[in-house]
Chains A and B, each alone.
Chain A
Amino acid sequence: MIKIDSLYKKYGENHVLKGVDLEIEQGVIAILGPNGSGKTTLNKCILGMVFPDSGNISIDNQSVLNKWDYRQKIDYLPQIANFPSNITVQELLNMIKDLRGNKTQDEKEYIELFHLSKFLNKKLSALSGGTKQKVNILLTFMFDNPIMILDEPTTGLDPVALLTLKDLIIREKNKGKIILVTSHIMDFVEGISDEIVFILEGKIYFKGSIELLKEKTNQESFEKAIANILKQNYA
């Protein structure tokens, strides 16, 4: 379980998070919101890459601020697949396995799923954006940890890979994991998520199921419901 209590964060004068309270039990939670609403900052706070100004984050009832070993439980897919460019895919895989202290993990299944075997000995700088993203996904899914944070996982993926990703997320969800996803592709979000968290200007504007959101906004489709919230707040 992840519990976030009145989380505040500002960069200079820019207040990104203004008191976020959130409790996540299980399942796929989609974190939505316009650009710059604080989704990535929230994810990075959970990961300990960004330090909140105040507030608390706890995982399984233990505060994680200024700690590092809890990250053993988290798989993170960063928004932009930035990898050291002068090593090959295989070397990267071996390195991450070594650094996680988990050398026996089998990545073959994912390599086949995303047709990556012919890229294994290529340098990361030589890969296309979509292929890099597939490597990114592979690195996130291969460790099978109870919490997954996926920041824009669909970027650059072709339709086939997108379907594969959807299936993978649902499969992992059924194992009882917590999966946090941010995305701007509403179809994708609707297909996988149990719950929506909508962040607006650093606060949680809505939390609940897609059905509830549709009801609340009086809209038939999920996409329109989201558009409705945005219009109301920017009109």
Chain B
Amino acid sequence: MLKILKYSFYDLIRSRWSYIYLLFYLLLGIVLLFLNSDIGKAIITLMNVIIVLVPLISTIFGVMYYYDSREFTELLLALPLKRSTIFFGQYLGVALSLSMSLIIGLGIPFLFYGLLASGVIINFLLLIVTGVFLTFIFSAFSYCIGLKNENKIKGFGYSILLWLFLAIIYDGVLLTVLIVFGEYPLENITLIGTILNPIDLSRILILLRLDISALLGYTGAVFKSFFGNGVGSIISFFILLLWVVFPLFLLRKFAKRKDF
């Protein structure tokens, strides 16, 4: 698997898109720091961008790479290699190169701005770690979508739908439920609803860490009591991890039965 990872990674870091992605984060970091002129505030703004854009870019990039490397995949399939090795290797190549762009692209401007001396370094690290989690989750989903759809257009369509659903529609539905059933105590339902969506879960994790949960009212207090203590954060990270494992499980299942 390491060999496949090596070649996929090598292939990807030579592709134009990795650099565009890296450049995008570099610019984003620099612009935010200048606009906010405060590292703590820049992190909050950055959170909003990361939570929405990282999943989008990971899904699109993942599905694009899947279709792009079909020839390479077919070449590999005729070699004495295990199928899961081939696909996991490629997936890791995508996820790692995207994560690297994220870490380097955001790391450089923040480091130069004096992140190490700022006291918000933990917040920044949390942001990056969640960003990496989201990258791994959504590129795995996009790989599953690629494997299930021979047709590129359909594949791209489903990928965007998946992102749209988890990033936007899901929240809308959850909010509607909360408004309709406003008379009832809904804290636990909100909590469960949040956990079931990796984007929401990441957002809450960061919000709580940034100590702006007071904005969330009573529900915020419930969240704080759940996520704020040690057990809560461990559970949340565990759930994020499950969100990575789940699509990988699907990936393995799809890859095993697919005809090329």
Closest A residue to B6 using CB positions: A98
Does B79 count as interface, using CB distance less than 8 angstroms? yes
Name the B residues within 8 Å of A95 (CB-CB). 7
| A82 touches B (CB below 8 Å) | yes
Q: Do B260 and A82 touch (CB < 8 A)? A: no
Give the contacts of B68-119 with A (CB-CB under 8 A): 69-72, 74-83
Say yes or no: is A168 at the interface (Cβ < 8 Å to chain B): no
Evaluate whether A84 and B11 lie within 8 angstroms (CB atoms) in the complex, with A51-B257, A68-B82, A99-B76 already known.
yes
Given contacts A49-B260, A51-B259, A98-B3, contact A71 B11 (CB under 8 A): no
Q: Please classify the interface of chain B as helix (H, G, I), strand (E, B), loop, or mixed, using the class held by over half of its residues.
A: helix
**Category for how many chain B residues contact A:** 20 to 34
Convert A50-78 into 0s and 1s, putting 1 for each residue whose CB lies closer than 8 angstroms to a CB of B: 11000000000000000011111010101
Beta-carbon nearest neighbor of A45 in chain B: B259
Interface positions, chain B 236-260, Cβ under 8 Å from A, are 257, 259-260
Whether B260 pairs with A44 at a CB distance below 8 angstroms is: yes
- Chain B residues with Cβ below 8 Å from A44 are 259-260
Q: List, in ascending order, chain B residues with CB within 8 A of A185's CB.
A: none
B229: interface (CB < 8 Å): no
Chain B stretch 42-89: residues in CB contact (< 8 A) with chain A = 69-72, 74-83
In the complex, the answer to whether B75 meets A68 with C-beta atoms within 8 Å is: no
- Contact A96/B79 with A51-B257, A82-B74 known, Cβ cut-off 8 Å: yes
List chain A residues, Cβ under 8 A from B257. 51
Say whether, besides A71-B79, A78-B78, A83 and B71 are in contact (CB < 8 Å).
yes
Please tell me if the beta carbons of B80 and A68 are within 8 angstroms of each other in the complex.
yes
**B251: min CB distance to chain A, Å:** 17
Given A47-B78, A49-B78, A96-B79, does the pair A86, B14 have CB atoms closer than 8 Å? yes
Interface residues of A in 91-111 (CB under 8 A from B): 95-96, 98-100
Closest approach, in angstroms, between the C-beta of B196 and any C-beta of chain A?
34
Is B259 touching A50 in the complex (CB atoms < 8 A)?
A: yes
Cβ of B102 to closest chain A Cβ, rounded Å: 23
Bound together, the chains give a CA A82 to CA B75 distance in angstroms of 8
Q: What are 8 inter-chain pairs, A to B, with CB distance below 8 A? A: A11-B259, A47-B77, A70-B80, A84-B72, A84-B75, A86-B11, A98-B3, A100-B79
Known A84-B72, A99-B81; 6 more pairs at CB < 8 Å:
A44-B260, A47-B77, A49-B78, A51-B257, A99-B3, A99-B7
